[in-house]
Structure formats: structure tokens, C-alpha cells
Amino acid sequence: MTRPVPLDVTAVARDAVRAHDGRIAVFATPEAGLDPGARRVDRMTRGALSRLVESPAFARLKPGESAELGYPPGLAAEAVQVVHLPRRSDAVTARRAGAVIGARLGEAGALVLAGAHPRAAGIGAGLALRAYDFRDHKSDPAPPPGRVTLMVTRPDAVRSALSGPMAAVEGVFLARDLVNTPANVLTTTAFAARLVEMRALGIGVEVLDEPALESLGLGALLAVGHGSESPSKLVVMQWRGGGEAAPLALVGKGVVFDTGGVSIKSAAGMEEMTMDMGGAGVAAGVMHSLARRGARANVVAVLGLVENMVSGRALRPGDVVRSLKGDTIEVINTDAEGRLVLADAMWYAQSRFAPAAMIDMATLTGAMIVALGHEHAGLFANDEPLADGLLAAAGGEGEGLWRMPLDAAYDRQLKSRIADVKNTGGRPAGAITAARFLARFVPEGTPWAHLDIAGVTLRKEAGDLAPRGASGWGVLTLDRLVRERFETPG
């Protein structure tokens, strides 16, 4: 797994600042000027930072943005980066300020003078998130970023405050690694093996193979993988840190590659369908985070791992498959395969674990991208407290999430002439009808939320906290939700 950049937390040391030969980052605002650490560097550079902060260019910067001085006089540093960050910043802004530092790290690393800033831990976490660099398939990768030193007035307190966020950073990195890995490497078997390795963290991991799934009756999930040489699997992960409390269930769509099947996708952009296991990747990342920070909660993750390919055995439009629940499903479009996988995985999770609540994550519909673009995931929920908790958690972590309707009126689009339900209701309201399909597989009384993450899982351009590629969206939100809503008092 890609490791976060090495991050040391130390007390402020004047001599170390003067001698550091990498980058130095300090904080200021146009209104209040330089903070104490920045003033110290300003004296060393004979007022160069003051002139920068007083300039019209710096005044135009938004909080979390920066300007810099190259090879400043009086210092060994290659550059001083001055970040616009008010002392009274929220967590999202502080993380963004750290990320703008992480985006520019070089081999020599960086010295970050956070001093007594109350959001020093958030700055460090944001820096680590943005410094992510997936190198596994580069023959001659660039040297990794050097160590980062976070200089603060209270090192012990900041180290303690960083422990939880850095566990979440590791979870985000796992999710990003999984999504970024090509499908010829991350087969269903390889994916399951990666999850089994997480037993070392204290997570229980079971892998159900095709014979086991057939005997249990997961006909919908199995049908999706019929056309592939890569065997379908269901992976069950359990973190038990909350005593006897009913668990939260996370269910992830894990389509390691999606050709669309017989209803084949166009060639343009198909290479991005390695990301169709993003929901399973997020669930794995959350479990990693919970284990690394020792969460006082019971959480299970059920991941359906399949590959949707074309062959003589592949699922066809017009076929009828039977789900674990017992409902029959008429397949109208084999490219609406993720909901078949989730239907069985969700029913299995509820039947076995009787969860307190269930959340599924899936790169489910192109219609979600049409509706919300690439800045927000779609939230569908049958329970107001769960929906409110997810929206609050996403807002607190700066991850875009927008609630969508889940009206039963949309069910008429899913009526089948020959089976209990169709697997797609056509183009109108495509994301909503997909959610309504999934709602059939949630028993009455189970709080449930569906996160359609199709637009936020893979970025074509760098974002605030992630480079181009996999974002890891959702790990931070779900980790926070567990911390705020599902952990037992300690």
C-alpha cells in the first residue's frame, strides 16, 4: 500500500529553520499579516515575506491558497511558501492549506511552521492526503517526497491529535491504490487476497467462492460474472470494537472491470472502468481506518467482487435471474450490472448480521454524473437520522454529498412483463430508478442509505486533496460517521 509521506512533529527550532534546504511553509493573512513562525522567517529574509503578504497578489488569494519566494536570502531553503490561513479556520480550510503544501513537495521535503495554530493536525493530514503518488507501475518512478517536519509549540498534543486523521489517511490511500490498480493486476482473486492481508490489523476476513455462493443462492451476483474467467467472490470483513452492539453494515460494489457485457460500452473511455470497484475500495479503506485507530464500534463490510466481460457464457439482455432474496430479475441491459451485485450482497448482509443500519457504496450510474457532475456524490436514504448523519459527516470532511429523491412513484419504470422487476428503468431518472431497484432488497425497518459515487471516484484533474486519478472519496465521511454515530462510549 502507498504509505503517507513521513511526517515528524517537533518543537520549533530556529537553527533548523535557517539550515533547512528543502521547502519551508508558513502562514499569514492579508488582514492580520504574518503569524509568529512567519515573522521569524521574515526577519531571517530581511522583510521579504512582509513585502509579499502586503502585495495585491497575496490579497487576492483565498484561504487555503499560497504564494512563494524562491531561494530566499538568509536561508538555505529552496523556497518559502506563504499560505493564506486565518487562525480561526474550520477543519476543511486547514486541511486544504496543508494540501497546497503537499502538492509541491520535492525530494528535500518540507519544514512547516505551524506553531500554535489550533488546526495544526488538520494541516498535517491535508498535506499527507495531497502528497499521495501512485507509483506501483512506473519503471523509473520519480524520487518520493522527502520527510516533512511539522514544527509546533505543543508537539505531544499535535501528535495525539494527528493519530486519528492519519489512520483515515491510510484508509484513503488504500482505497485510492485499489481504484488505481489496473484490472489485469487487481483481479477478483487478487482483490480478495489484498483484503485477506487485512487480518493482520485484527479484522476478520472471509472469502466465499463460487460454489459457496451457488449453494447460498446468490444468483444475481453470480450472473454478472458468468462471462469472465475471473471467479466471482463475496468477501465479508468484520471489525468488532463495540461489544455486543448490532453492527453497521457497509456494502460495496466490486466490479473489477466493466465492459458492459453483451450491452457493451463504447471503446472511448472504457479504460476507466477499472474504477468500477470503487465502492468496494471505499469499504476496504474504511475498515482499514477503523482498525488502525481502534474504533469502538462494530462494523461489517460485504464486498461483491466480480468482472463483467463478454463471452459465450455471458449474461444476455432478456435473461431472468433469481436473487438471494428470491425475487426474479429481468435483465434489460447487462451494463446495469452493479445493482445485481449489490442486491445479493445487501440481502446477505442483512440476513446474516441484522445490522443497526446499512450503507451501500457504488459507482452505479452515469446518470449520477449527468445530475451532479464530479463534485458531489448522490445520497438516497429511507431514514432521516442516517441521511442527516451522512450529510453532516460529509460536510465536516469537505466531501460533496447531495440528497436525491427516493419516491416509490419511480417503481413503475421497473415493472417487468415476465419477472418481478427489471434491472433498469431506462434513461429518465436513471440514478433514482437504480436506487429504487436497490430499495427492494432492504427489509422493512432497516435504516439504509445508498451512495452513488460514480462521479467522484476517479478525477480527470487534481482536486484540493488528491492528485489526478482515484480520490478515495467516502473514506473520510464514513469514518467520521462511525466515530460520531456508531461508537460506544469509551
Residue 88 lies in a domain: yes
Q: What is the Cα–Cα distance from 17 to 40, expressed in whole angstroms? A: 9
On whether both 15 and 46 belong to a single domain, the answer is yes
Q: Domain boundary at 129, 158, 187, which?
A: 158
Q: Is residue 1 part of a domain?
A: no
Q: Indicate whether 371 belongs to any domain.
A: yes
The CATH number for 381's domain is 3.40.630.10
Q: In angstroms, rounded to a whole number, what is the distance separating the alpha carbons of residues 121 and 161?
A: 6
Domain boundary among 97, 125, 158: 158
d(CA 80, CA 93): 20
Please indicate, yes or no, if residue 464 is contained in any of the structural domains. yes
- Domain ends where: 158, 179, 207? 158
**pTM for the full predicted model:** 0.97
How many separate domains does the chain show?
A: 2
Is 415 assigned a catalytic role?
no
> Are 400 and 345 in the same domain?
yes
- Catalytic residue flag (residue 339): yes
Whether residue 265 sits in one domain with residue 130: no
Question: What are residue 75's phi and psi, to 5 degrees?
Answer: -130, 155
The range of the structural domain enclosing residue 38 comes to 7-158
Query: Among the options 95, 339, 440, 480, which is catalytic?
Result: 339
Asked if residue 178 and residue 151 are part of one domain, the reply reads no
Assigned domain for 163 exists: no
Q: Give yes or no: residues 91 and 227 share one domain.
A: no
Please tell me whether residues 364 and 475 are part of one structural domain: yes
Each residue's pLDDT, cut to its tens digit, for the chain (490 residues) gives 999 999 999 999 989 999 999 999 999 999 999 999 999 999 999 999 999 999 999 999 999 999 999 999 999 999 999 999 999 999 999 999 999 999 999 899 999 999 999 999 999 999 999 999 999 999 987 888 899 999 999 999 999 999 999 999 999 999 999 999 999 999 999 999 999 999 999 999 999 999 999 999 999 999 999 999 999 999 999 999 999 999 999 999 999 999 999 999 999 999 999 999 999 999 999 999 999 999 999 999 999 999 999 999 999 999 999 999 999 999 999 999 999 999 999 999 999 999 999 999 999 999 999 999 999 999 999 999 999 999 999 999 999 999 999 999 999 999 999 999 999 999 999 999 999 999 999 999 999 999 999 999 999 999 999 999 999 999 999 999 999 999 998 6
Quickly list DSSP for 122-167: HHHHHHHHHT----TT-SSPPPPP--EEEEES-HHHHHHHHHHHHH
Q: Which of 39, 104, 240, 265 is catalytic?
A: 265
Q: Is residue 165 part of a domain?
A: no
Q: Domain check: are 220 and 339 in the same one?
A: yes
Statement to judge: residues 239 and 148 lie in one domain: no
Helix pair 430-439, 338-353: axis angle to 10 deg: 30
Would you say residue 470 lies in a domain? yes
140 and 179 part of one domain: no
Same domain, yes or no, for 138 and 235?
no
Judgement on whether residues 109 and 198 belong to the same structural domain of the protein: no
Crossing angle for the helix pair 278-293 and 188-196, to the nearest 10 degrees: 10
Whether 375 and 426 map to the same domain: the answer is: yes
Question: Would you say residue 279 lies in a domain?
Answer: yes
Q: Beginning with the edge strand found earlier in the chain, give each strand of the sheet holding 320-322 in spatial order.
A: 320-322, 328-330, 421-422
